[in-house]
A and B are shown apart, each in its own frame.
Chain A
Amino acid sequence: MKSFEALFFALSALLTVGGAVATIGSRRPIRSAMGLLVTILGICGCYLLLGAELLATVQLIVYAGAVVVLFIFVVMLLGPAAVSGTDKASAIPRYVGATVFGVGALGAGVLMRQLASERLTSTKLVKLPDGFGGIEAVGRELFTTYVIPFELTGALLLVAVVGAMAVARGKQADPTRPNAPVNPHLADPHLADSDPSDAQSAINVKAPTGEPSSAATAANAAKPPTGEPSSAATAAKPPTGEPISAASAANAANAAKPGDGH
């Protein structure tokens, strides 16, 4: 029995560590995601060894079934752009930091035996009660003792949904043309919310292929009618992504209001 357990643990640990190394080591994110999946399987094995059957299931369903799939979905969506090239030279300090951290944490892992007293590491004397880690025991505790955190999780999930929606809603990127990101101004008048100062720095943003006139109309539609000539405000939102100097735009707005200022 013991040897079987040891073997099972060794297998799980191998899966876990191997998957983790693959996750952080591979150049293609799709392989990383697969590595993550392997890690999760390994951890499932550990959970089973530790008597956490429910958690093993949840881990499989939520992590493997939802989170990893979500990752894979995004990787597929991004296509080749998801592959990162080699890291740049500025990485040296990061490597130093990572090494220090890694060595420290690894040391902590190895020293876990030394750090933790016998009280914490010996499982010999602990008899697990029947049904420990099963759905009934955990579920009962979850809905009695832990009902308040459970309710609070509702707020968490709600905020995650709203947040994800607020950030990512809009036209999807065209996965076939990774270097020609969609300009939101053109695609969706609701998205005319970039700040013009970005335009100068965002070199990668190419001029959109759409018709300029329609873009102007879109921006016009979103413009507040405050009694000024519309051209002034429109100019502040260059629909073509061209770096129109903000000063000139504001200048125009200023000129439109002779009573103000000076």
Chain B
Amino acid sequence: MTQLPLHYFLALAALLFATGAVGFLIRRNLLVMLMSIELMLNGVNLTLVAFNRIRPANHAGHIFTFFIIAIAAAEAAVGLALVLAFFRLRGSVRADEATLLKH
């Protein structure tokens, strides 16, 4: 399909991954942290699909992505369940409210 050089996509994916990582590290809202992880996983997916572009002999990257999407959905389900449980006890979704366990 495309004739665009691959590093466009790779750079975009890296940027996405980095954005997700930054969001994960600076935000304290549990929901946003979860979404940041989704961003990171999307960055990974884009990398895989992009690399599959130059190796069309099989669909290893595509299928890897496929599975990562499934994993991400499962992870989101468990994560949101935990967030709900946390909210139910604490009345908040702020990670820095999680201070009960300290040294």
Contacts and interface: CB of A to CB of B under 8 A. Distances in A.
| Direct chain A–B contact by Cβ atoms under 8 Å | yes
A149 B71 CA distance: 12
A153 B67 contact: yes
A101 B22 contact: yes
Contacts of B16: 16-17, 20, 39, 43
A82 B23 CA distance: 16
A222 interface: no
A24 B6 contact: no
Contacts of B50: 46, 50
Contact of A49 (B4, B36, B42, B54): B4
A123 B23 contact: no
B81 A123 contact: no
Given A40-B42, A49-B4, A108 B66 contact: no
Contact of B22 (A35, A82, A98, A132): A98
Contact of B31 (A51, A71, A101, A108): A71
A156 B74 contact: yes
Contact of A50 (B1, B27, B93): B1
Contact of A123 (B54, B69, B74, B94): B54
A164 B76 CA distance: 10
Nearest to B83: A74
Contacts of B76: 67, 70-71
A206 to B, nearest CB: 9
Given A6-B4, A88-B96, A105-B14, A50 B36 contact: no
A192 interface: no
A35 to B, nearest CB: 8
A20 B39 contact: yes
A137 B54 CA distance: 16
Category for how many chain B residues contact A: 35 or more
Contacts, number: 299
Contacts of B23: 20, 23-24
B91 A204 contact: yes
Interface string B1-32: 11111111111111111111111011111011
Given A74-B31, A84-B28, A123-B4, A36 B39 contact: yes
A110 B96 contact: no
Interface in A129-188: 129, 132-133, 137-138, 141-142, 145-146, 149, 153, 156-157, 159-161, 163-165, 167-168, 170, 172-173, 178-182, 184
Interface in B56-102: 56, 58-59, 62-63, 65-67, 69-78, 80-85, 87-94, 96, 100
Given A43-B45, A157-B70, A157-B74, A51 B53 contact: yes
B63 A112 contact: no
B38 A116 contact: no
A237 B22 CA distance: 42
Interface stretch (A58-66, A223-231, A243-251): A58-66
A52 interface: yes
Given A74-B80, A145-B58, A181-B89, 20 more contacts: A9-B8, A20-B20, A24-B39, A49-B9, A50-B2, A63-B42, A67-B38, A70-B76, A81-B92, A108-B18, A109-B13, A109-B15, A112-B10, A123-B2, A124-B3, A141-B59, A159-B74, A168-B85, A180-B91, A204-B91
Q: What are the nearest 4 A-B pairs in CB distance? A: A24-B23, A109-B14, A105-B18, A160-B74
